[in-house]
Amino acid sequence: MKIFIEFKFINILDNFVEEKTLECPVCKSNKAEIAGENVKLSGRFDDKEFLTTELTVLRCVKCGFYMFFDKQAKFTTKDES
C-alpha cells in the first residue's frame, strides 16, 4: 500500500489561511509520496556548519524529484492501494 500526497499546501500567515495546489517543478505532476518526515539536513558553507529545522521530504511519483517542506506545510493524502 502506498500513500500518495496531492500537493495542496496550506499557508497560515497573519491569521489568513490560504490553500494552494502545488505541482512538481520538473514534470508538473501533483502526486508525491512521503520519503521522510522530521528530516534535518546539515552541511558546510565557507567553513561554517549549518543544520536545518525538521523537514518533510516528498518524492514525485512520476519523475522522482525530491521536494522539501517545513512544519508549516500541511498535505492532503489519498490512499491508492
Rounded alpha-carbon distances, angstroms, from residue 29 to 7, 26, 49, 75 = 9, 8, 34, 15
The three-class DSSP label of residue 53 is coil
Domain assignment present for residue 81? The answer is no
**pLDDT tens-digit map of 7-53:** 555 555 555 666 667 788 999 888 888 888 898 888 888 888 888 88
User: What domain range includes position 6?
Assistant: 2-76
**pLDDT tens-digit map of 13-23:** 555 666 667 78
**More confident: 60 or 52:** 60
Q: What is the DSSP letter of 64?
A: -
Domain assignment present for residue 48? The answer is yes
The three-class DSSP label of residue 27 is coil
Domain tally for the chain?
Answer: 1
Residue bearing cell 502506498: 2
Radius of gyration of the chain (CA): 14
Q: What is the pLDDT of residue 27?
A: 93
Q: What is the pLDDT of residue 62?
A: 92
Q: What is the pLDDT of residue 11?
A: 56
